[in-house]
Structure 1
Amino acid sequence: MNPKLSWLFRLRPARRQGSTLPSRENNMFSDGTIDADDVIDLRSALALLEQNPGQLVTTDVPVDPLAELSGVYRYVGASGTVKRPTRVGPAMIFNKIKGYEGSRVLIGLLASRKRVALMLGSTPERLGFLLNDAVQHAIPPIVVDREKAVCQEVVHLASNPDFDIRKLLPAPTNTEEDAGPYFTMGMVYASDPETGESDVTIHRICVQGRDELSIYFVPGRHIDAFRMKAEAAGKPLPITISIGVDPAIEIGACFEPPTTPLGFDELSIAGALRKRPVELVDCLTVPARGIANAEIVIEGEILPNVRVREDQNTNTGKAMPEFPGYTGDSKAALPVIKVKAVTHRRDPIMQTVIGPSEEHVSMAGIPTEASILSMVERAMPGKLLNVYAHTSGGGKYLAILQFKKSAPADEGRQRQAALLAFSAFSELKHVIIVDEDVDLFDTNDVLWAMTTRYQGDVSTVFIPNVRCHPLDPSATPEFSPSITQAGNSCKVIFDCTVPFHLKDHFHRSKFKEVDVKRFLPDFDPAS
């Protein structure tokens, strides 16, 4: 047996008796049950998973946060674009972190579409519709008194000479060549210095020193727009980084324009999902707000006109593994966050994510689906049946559209829907369109449609040299002469639908409908 894997077999399901997870006073009911409507924070979400077999495991075997922790979860449940072998599996809590007495780390909370649906009270197939509805019925966050903010139960001020965030929080590295430890699941929250409008999003944050972090912004991100406004005025931008929150917040934070334009606070999407406002609390050291029931809140400021090399402490030339499945190059000059304080709950749970994993697909892909559904439905109601932001594209690069043609006039509208999808989510690279009889969540079925309902010379639409995403390693002039600037791509529509006038020739074989449970009473078609 591979010695690196031997202790995986000592994993156990999360425990009901003597569990390290929430007890009655932390949102679990006296009869031991909880459902999605009762989830208000990370601990109640974990309590929900604890009572659903196969959704959560824990281990007491000490783990090194530097590469080993992510190396373990790569096998247990990362899935996504992670190097094989991997699989869809349970979320995992490491109860003992080397060098961090009393700390715990959670990974993989959202690394299963089924688990996300469970925590949001939906089904895997309807998540895009659920998110779309939440955008339409947003509930703004509210501010609560500090007495109600469990995130401030314990306070560490950076002004204390003994303060060192490197020793305080077990930020992992994903691989041995990472630029440094990263906070990968921090909800970065800040406000426009001119309008006061707020935004929450997730960014790549590398630990650089005892009280300094670097932050990477993909061009166009709203908090970067806030930062640039503050920097133009010669002022720092106050921010918070909330770690370990209600998964509804983590999903809602990943919406992008045009669905959520500048000034739209994505915390209001989480409010709609939970049918109650997200609670914020005023910070202790900066004029900003953190998520009141977060496990950990980092308070700080993005300094004006200060930059740092991302890998200054390691000189690896690498950053960390990103969602396409490749490790990105480190950046030469990134903005700096000056940490002012760290506050947290008692016995906090650090949450992290492997960049190229199914967890990223859930966070980025489900909001992508909602955005496409919204835009296409407005243009052609009832034609787009569903959308799947496919795992292989990290939730960003590839979308499967299930489209229904009902009349000859619908021919061509499926391609119009694809064009609208590109408009709804600018980082989308490829769209595959299938008919209503194809299961868009079954890759084998999608490839069957591409094999039997697609001819490359007439079924492909190329849109060259359009802005896409800078982390696509093929999006360079060296790869294609059609690309004039890194980050541009040739966007492609793969029309795998049957031409309407030929639909009668493409009926799938019809099988008799039967009740399988007569023969196999325990049969579960969803398993």
Structure 2
Amino acid sequence: MSETKKQPVHDLRSAIALLQSLKGEFVSTDTEVDPHAELSGVYRYVGAGGTCERPTRKGPAMMFNKVKGFPDVRVVTGLMSTRERVGHLLDCAPEKLGFLLKDSVHHAVAPVVISEKPLCQEVVHYAEDPEFDLRTLLPAPTNTEEDAGPYFTMGMCYASDPETHESDITIHRLCIQSRDELSMWLTPGRHIDAFREKAEKAGKPLPISISIGVDPAIEIAACFEPPTTPLGFNELSIAGALRGKPVELAPCVSINEKAIAHAEIVIEGELLPNVRVREDQNTNTGKAMPEFPGYTGEAKAELPVIKVKAVTHRKHPILQTTLGPSGEHVSMAGIPTEASILDMLERAMPGRVLNVNAHTSGGGKLLAVIQFKKSAPVDEGRQRQAALIAFAAFSELKHVILVDDDVDVFDTDDILWAMQTRFQGDVDIATIAGVRCHPLDPSQQPGYSASITQQGMTTKTIFDCTVPWHMKAHFERSKFKEVDVKRFLPDFE
């Protein structure tokens, strides 16, 4: 993808410029859109894809230039809603993205703090101003008419361990609750939740910055999880490796923390100790927002609260958002998942696993397809060992489909072909019951299965769609003659 080098990406605006230069990758509209349900409703048809309600499709990213009630702010969505677009943004072949991310973890480039005034602070609003109100300042979308409220879905949350001062960046569900308060849902095991717990035990607030509208390399890197990036590993260093230069941070204006210097918008605040709020207190819908499995999550009864101290932004800022079930979640969550699995499997059994796809249907989290090459009789059974290692590499993985080296892991038809012709349910399924997984899977609850004792537990399953070694000769695909198609169709791609 050498053509992308002509326009190097270093922030959101350069990412948009790159996509605008590529045919079919970016569209915009000057028709006024309501951020309440309408904006997401439009993009569902244009290009959301993923696990969204049908009809939807894989389509271009989209800019909304006129947002009702917010004349100075544009909203963009879907920058990474296709794997091909992520390839353009990271200058990498789509099928090699997992390998690129894997290698970047091992060549980390630490972020740096700049001394000059950052772009993200061209305009500053302090919450102590009586006219300050998040609800009228930023057009956070309400994804559906049932949502608990307006949500920031692409905020890069940055905080530091109050004891070690090690920092972490990650993405969380943030709902506007009042003029200067956000609720924050932290799924168990996230690093910032560990920082929050330490601060809360000491009775102190945890400073936190939320950077919105940044280089997509940061958004991808922020989605790495343990064990690939253990507590104390700053994922911004992965983004630094992806770009070959450090991510630049800047001191916040109202709290003792840093933010991403090139961000479009930064929300500065503190996670308050021992303060909780009901997520849907303003709507009483019982619903939160659409999440990656394709269902709307339940509103949480007690969530930590961020007290906002200030909002800073670039002139005429662009607010970036995403639809929870869209293909964008698959890219952000799935490609780091692939990298983590590839990394552990290459160390455990070099040369046997050729590729991994964190499949769209699982939102990039619940399903992985592993391409395994059996080279000798002793490899029989190692493919299932690879699946077990994948479960260890990514704890929220629920299902693994194993396929041979002649099956394209990025072609769902090919994967299902392998399942129909190389799989027998009585011998090719292996299950592990009573294992912790992701709480947003609605089937992971006691009412669904007697094996589930509490919500968030599951039965992890391996679907072995590989040919038994001793039968390989009976499963050779039909071979077609190699030809130069361009001799017949010069414009063929």
TM-score with structure 1 length normalisation? 0.93
**Contact 2:162–2:198 (CA under 8 A) maintained in structure 1:** yes
- Structure 2 distance, partners of 1:401, 1:419, is 11
**Contact 2:4–2:91 (CA under 8 A) maintained in structure 1:** no
**Contact 1:35–1:48 (CA under 8 A) maintained in structure 2:** no
Are 1:365 and 2:373 an aligned pair?
no
Match of 2:10 among 29, 37, 40: 40
**Contact 1:36–1:120 (CA under 8 A) maintained in structure 2:** no
Amino acid across the alignment from 1:382: G
1:160-309 equivalent positions in 2, closer than 5 A = 160-309=129-278
Equivalent position of 2:63 in the other structure: 93
Partner-residue secondary structure (3-state), 1:301: strand
Are 1:158 and 2:127 an aligned pair?
yes
- Structure 2 distance, partners of 1:441, 1:39, is 26
- Structure 2 distance, partners of 1:495, 1:512, is 30
Structure 1 gap segments, 5+ residues each: 1-32
Are 1:419 and 2:410 an aligned pair?
no
- Structure 1 distance, partners of 2:274, 2:120, is 31
**Contact 2:61–2:81 (CA under 8 A) maintained in structure 1:** yes
Equivalent position of 1:513 in the other structure: 482
Match of 2:82 among 105, 112, 123: 112
Partner-residue secondary structure (3-state), 2:357: strand
- Structure 1 distance, partners of 2:94, 2:61, is 17
**Contact 2:7–2:14 (CA under 8 A) maintained in structure 1:** no
How far residue 405 of structure 1 moved from its aligned partner, in angstroms, is 0.1
- Structure 1 distance, partners of 2:348, 2:65, is 50
Match of 2:407 among 433, 438, 442: 438
**Contact 1:105–1:352 (CA under 8 A) maintained in structure 2:** yes
Equivalent position of 1:129 in the other structure: 99
Amino acid across the alignment from 1:399: A
- Structure 1 distance, partners of 2:452, 2:9, is 46
Equivalent position of 1:403 in the other structure: 372
- Structure 2 distance, partners of 1:445, 1:36, is 35
- Structure 1 distance, partners of 2:415, 2:361, is 13
- Structure 1 distance, partners of 2:458, 2:75, is 37
How far residue 34 of structure 1 moved from its aligned partner, in angstroms, is 5.9
Match of 2:51 among 76, 81, 92: 81
Alignment RMSD: 0.8
**Contact 1:37–1:274 (CA under 8 A) maintained in structure 2:** no
How far residue 102 of structure 1 moved from its aligned partner, in angstroms, is 1.8
* 1:220-276 alpha-carbon deviations (Å, 9 max, x no partner): 110000000000000000000000000000000000000000000000000000000
1:9-28 equivalent positions in 2, closer than 5 A = none
* 1:120-159 alpha-carbon deviations (Å, 9 max, x no partner): 0001100000000000000010000142x10000000001
Amino acid across the alignment from 1:287: N
How far residue 485 of structure 1 moved from its aligned partner, in angstroms, is 1.3
- Structure 1 distance, partners of 2:28, 2:341, is 37
Partner-residue secondary structure (3-state), 1:102: coil
Partner-residue secondary structure (3-state), 1:457: coil
Give % identity. Answer: 73
Are 1:71 and 2:45 an aligned pair?
no
Partner-residue secondary structure (3-state), 1:159: coil
Equivalent position of 1:388 in the other structure: 357
Equivalent position of 2:289 in the other structure: 320
How far residue 465 of structure 1 moved from its aligned partner, in angstroms, is 1.0
- Structure 2 distance, partners of 1:484, 1:135, is 36
Q: 1:48 to 1:255 in 2, by over 3 A?
A: same
Partner-residue secondary structure (3-state), 2:178: coil
- Structure 2 distance, partners of 1:274, 1:37, is 13
Partner-residue secondary structure (3-state), 2:81: coil
Partner-residue secondary structure (3-state), 2:434: strand
**Contact 1:238–1:300 (CA under 8 A) maintained in structure 2:** yes
Partner-residue secondary structure (3-state), 2:426: helix
How far residue 35 of structure 1 moved from its aligned partner, in angstroms, is 2.8
Equivalent position of 1:8 in the other structure: none
Amino acid across the alignment from 1:92: M
- Runs of at least 4 residues of structure 1 off by over 3 A? none
- Structure 1 distance, partners of 2:302, 2:465, is 44
**Contact 1:39–1:119 (CA under 8 A) maintained in structure 2:** yes
- Structure 2 distance, partners of 1:429, 1:34, is 36
Equivalent position of 1:480 in the other structure: 449
- Structure 1 distance, partners of 2:51, 2:6, is 28
1:499-510 equivalent positions in 2, closer than 5 A = 499-510=468-479
- Structure 2 distance, partners of 1:188, 1:446, is 36
TM-score with structure 2 length normalisation? 0.99
Match of 1:140 among 94, 110, 115: 110
Equivalent position of 1:14 in the other structure: none
Match of 1:310 among 279, 296, 301: 279
Partner-residue secondary structure (3-state), 1:402: strand
Amino acid across the alignment from 1:286: I
**Contact 2:446–2:452 (CA under 8 A) maintained in structure 1:** yes
- Structure 2 distance, partners of 1:475, 1:39, is 40
